[in-house]
Amino acid sequence: MVKYQEIANELRNQIQEGVYKAGEQLALEREMCEQYGVSRITIKKAVDQLVKEGLVVKRRGSGTFVKSLANEDVHDISMANQFSGFSKVFEGHKVSTKVVRFDIIHPTAEVAEKLNITTDDFVYDIVRLRQVDGSPVVIEYTNMPIELIPGIKREVLEKSIYRYIEEQLHFKIQSAHRFIRALLPTPEEEELLQIEHGTMPILEVEQVAFLDDGRAFEYAKAHHRGDKQVFRVVSIR
């Protein structure tokens, strides 16, 4: 662990434990330099991390201040803005997966463009129903180029494709570009998600995911039951 992360963690803990309360001013950057025995740029990197997480604001000419956050929001704030696959989000719960479809097809023109391949290439065409603690939560429609992500078997789908990519293929996942919408479920989706007709919308998360060399490796649409998923973001000017 590098210095600026350690300092960021320490400051985050102090805020979450109430050492610094809502609205209070943090120690000055030049003071923290002495306190931690590091240079000012290192302190800046640490505090900038907290700004990105949404815990504090910096004002040139004044100082750094803790945001007036509700108690509940102070504690799980560092989870916002974060990238993670489905299995990761529900760690600790009993997650099961039903593979609804598992084929190889030519991608549509739209998917081909998103993945930077041609419609002559091949992609997996995967549909999975995810259940958490026995209740259906989300349907995931996934396309991945077989050339980039070879060797996917049914047992991989039943666990985590991301874990397979990182642990078996030794790729690193870098980012995801997401579009979020509200939709109504199709009749098939109502059945899979156990929704009584007309009583529940779908939160759609469309995403293109990227490896750390910049290649797009996944085009996916996740259709979440409206009552089971909330998407969280901290937007800074």
Residue 62 near residue 38 (C-beta atoms within 8 A): no
Q: Is 181 exposed, middle or buried (0-12, 13-18, 19+ CB in 10 A)?
A: exposed
Name the one range near a copy of itself by CB under 8 A: 30-38, 57-65, 126-134, 154-162: 57-65
Residue 105 near residue 136 (C-beta atoms within 8 A): no
| In the complex, minimum distance from the CB of residue 213 to DNA, in angstroms, rounded to a whole number | 7
Does 81 engage in binding with a copy of itself (CB under 8 A)? yes
Q: Which helix (H) or strand (E) holds 187?
A: helix 187-192
Q: List the x/- string, 151-190, binding to a copy of itself by CB under 8 A.
A: ---------------------xxxxxxxxxxxxx------
Q: Tell me, what amino acid is at 177?
A: H
Nearer to DNA, 29 or 113 (CB): 29
If contact means CB under 5 to 8 A according to the sort of partner, which of a copy of itself, DNA, none does residue 9 touch?
none
Q: List the x/- string, 26-65, binding to DNA by CB under 7 A.
A: x-xxx------xxxxxx-xx------------xxxxxxx-
Residue 218 near residue 124 (C-beta atoms within 8 A): no
Residue 123 near residue 105 (C-beta atoms within 8 A): yes
How far apart CA 192 and CA 184 sit, in angstroms, is 14
Nearer to DNA, 25 or 199 (CB): 25
| Dihedral angle sign, alpha carbons of residues 11, 76, 141, 204 | negative
Give the 3-state secondary structure of residue 193: coil
Give the 3-state secondary structure of residue 14: helix
- Among the listed residues 208, 218, 221, 222, the single contact to a copy of itself using CB under 8 A: 208
If contact means CB under 5 to 8 A according to the sort of partner, which of a copy of itself, DNA, none does residue 65 touch?
a copy of itself
| In the complex, minimum distance from the CB of residue 12 to DNA, in angstroms, rounded to a whole number | 16
Does 106 engage in binding with DNA (CB under 7 A)? no
Residues engaged in binding a copy of itself (CB under 8 A): 22-23, 41, 54, 56-57, 59, 62, 65-73, 80-83, 113-116, 172-184, 198-204, 208, 210, 212-216, 224, 226, 229-237
